[in-house]
Structure formats: structure tokens, C-alpha cells
Amino acid sequence: MKLTILGCYAATPRTFTNPTAQVLEIKNRLFLIDCGEGTQVQLRKNKIKFSKINHIFISHLHGDHFFGLIGLISTFSLLGRTTKLHIYGPMGIKEIILLQLRLSNSWPNFELIFQELTNKESELILEDDKVKVQTIPLKHRIYTNGFLFEEKEGDRKLNIEAVNKYQIDTCYYLKIKKGGDITLDNGTVIKNEELSFPGIQPKSYAFCSDTIFNETIIPNIKKVFALYHESTFLQTEAELAKKTFHSTASEAATIAAKAQVSYLILGHYSTRYENISLFKEEAQRVFENVLLAEDGKVFDFDALQ
């Protein structure tokens, strides 16, 4: 599981800072989370293949989280895309996109499948053999969801030495990788544990932005591997955070600690701060494993322990 930050700043795009967008790679699939203005250019700069993005998740309908979506869809179309595109986002997202496509008389050659969200409880919105995605209802000025991505248990790794020792035919290898035991010709059953090693530990990632400090999300994100929690402000602006339904670095760290996550990634910084290392310092007074999102930064979760 690998996370590429395309943009992690609040409010407006600027010369050197981009609004929210990130790409989560799970087993060679790319999930785009939020899509602020300029996301398509950030995708190009970070050399991410447009054709591999089939699922886009929009947290809420504030501009810094979705104004780049219509442009990205149009570019997909100009590039000749034919593969279906799934878009998950608040009720209204479909109307916004379809209105603009209609008025520009530019219908894409691929199917757009909208899943419009209205539920105030967490719900499962995508599941296949490799991943499960659920919403995390957040508290912001308008209807907002975070998203929890859970990688499913992958194949076990073949213990070549043991497999050779029992002279097991290659046609059984897949069965072994899937966790199956093997019965030899003489009737002896060899337990899977003897023939394989555990695969890569499945990882989980929770994206929570934008939100006020809200402990009710803790059960939804309990023990996730990496939590991206917005920290628009520092504790010196705690009142402003509350008033605008945003969080401080310290509050994000409190959520991380209570949810017992492995890593906390901070982002959605207000552009009023020149030095984002202050966010890390503040958060680390509450929770140790703090990482700072930065535009263009890549977090390889499998390389972290």
C-alpha cells in the first residue's frame, strides 16, 4: 500500500501549494482521494498513469476538494479513455459534473458511475477480492465523509525448501499460497504452515479531512495502520479551528492516540503557517509516530513497520 500526496494545503491553490488530492495504491490499483483544482497537473508531475485510476472518492463539496474533478474527467475523455470511472461523493456531485458535460456538449466515451452518499452512518461503498472501502462520517460545515481503505489478506509465500522436500507438484502451488493443506500420494496431510510463510501484512488507511475534533470517529478507525487526519491549524488557533469545523495538530494526535493507529499523517495545513514542522512538533507531544504530508511526498506503508 502506497500513498502519494498530490496536494495537502487548505483553501486555495497557490504557486507552490496544492489543495487536497492524494493517490492510494493498493495492489497495483490506484484510488484517487479528493481532487482539488490542478490535480491533473499534479498527477502528471508525479508521473501517475491516468488510465490506472478507476475510482475517485470525494470527501465533501468544498472547492479545494473537488474543483479539479470536472477537468480530470474532461482530460480522461480527451485522452481516449473507454474504461468505466466510479465516483463516490456527496449527493450533488453527479449534477455538477453532468451539467458541465451537457453545457460543453462533451460527453465522454466512457461510463461515469456515480455513487452519491447521503448516509450519516459508516457504510461499505466498495469491496472486491483485494480491498474494502467504507465511509467515515465526519463533522464539518457541510456533509463530509472520510474513507477507510482496508487491504485484504494477500497470498502466503511459498516455502520452496519444504515444497521441494515433499516433491509437491507445481500445480498445487496456488492452493498452498491460498492457505490450503496438501495431501501426499501416501495419504499424509502436510499442514499449510509447513509449506508457506505469511504474506505481506495487509495494511489499512483512513483519510479524515475535513473535520472538527470528533471522538465519535474512533471506533471506525481503531488500530488502522495509517491515519491521515486534517490539521488545518495549530493549537494557538484552537478557537478558529472550532469555529470553522477544522482540527489542530494536537487534536489530530489525540484522535490518533485514542484510536491506537500505527502512524498519523498530518495535512490540510492553512497557508498562514510558513513552517509546517511546527505541526509535527505539536502533534508529537501527544502521539509519537507523526509524519508530515507534503505535496509530491510518497509514503510506502509496506516499508514502514
267 binds its own copies (CB under 8 A): no
| Region of 58-66, 124-132, 178-186, 210-218 interacting with its own copies (CB under 8 A) | 58-66
Binding mask 86-125 for its own copies (x = CB under 8 A): ----x-x--xx--xx--xxxx-------------------
| Region of 35-43, 166-174, 222-230, 273-281 interacting with its own copies (CB under 8 A) | 35-43
Alpha-helical segments (H) within 48-195: 63-66, 69-78, 93-103, 160-165, 173-177, 192-195
| Region of 71-79, 203-211, 237-245, 281-289 interacting with its own copies (CB under 8 A) | 71-79
Q: Least Å distance between CB 210 and its own copies?
A: 12
Among 27, 120, 141, 223, binds its own copies (CB under 8 A): 141
* Grid cell listed for 95: 449534477
* Grid cell listed for 281: 512538533
- Tell me how many degrees the CA angle 160-163-164 measures, rounded to the nearest 5: 85
Q: Which is nearer to its own copies, 63 or 219 (CB)?
A: 63
219 binds its own copies (CB under 8 A): no
Q: Is 60 annotated among the ligand-binding residues?
A: yes
Among 29, 54, 74, 235, binds its own copies (CB under 8 A): 74
Contact present, 46 and 136 (Cβ < 8 Å): no
Closest CA to 54 of 76, 85, 24: 85
Closest CA to 7 of 301, 302, 294, 304: 294
**Catalytic residue, candidates 34, 64, 181, 295:** 64
Q: Is 210 annotated among the ligand-binding residues?
A: yes
> How far does the chain reach from its first CA to its final CA, in angstroms?
12
9 binds its own copies (CB under 8 A): no
45 binds its own copies (CB under 8 A): yes
For the four alpha carbons of 19, 20, 24 and 30, in that order, the dihedral sign comes to negative
Neighbour-count burial of 270, counting CB atoms closer than 10 A to its CB (0-12 exposed, 13-18 middle, 19+ buried): middle
Residues binding its own copies: what is the number (CB under 8 A)?
Answer: 33
Q: Least Å distance between CB 131 and its own copies?
A: 29
- 64 an active-site residue? yes
Q: Which is nearer to its own copies, 64 or 151 (CB)?
A: 64
Can you tell me the distance from the alpha carbon of 264 to that of 273, in angstroms, rounded to the nearest whole number?
Answer: 20
Q: Which is nearer to its own copies, 68 or 267 (CB)?
A: 68
Q: Least Å distance between CB 216 and its own copies?
A: 22
Contact present, 156 and 173 (Cβ < 8 Å): no
Rounded to the nearest 5°, which phi and psi values hold at 29?
-110, 145
* Grid cell listed for 146: 472520510
For the four alpha carbons of 177, 180, 181 and 184, in that order, the dihedral sign comes to negative
What residues are designated binding site for Zn(2+)? 60, 62, 64-65, 140, 210, 268
Chain residues binding its own copies by CB under 8 A are: 11-15, 37-38, 40-41, 44-45, 61-63, 67-68, 70-71, 74-75, 78, 90, 92, 95-96, 99-100, 103-106, 141-142
Active site residues: 64
What residues are designated binding site? 60, 62, 64-65, 140, 210, 268
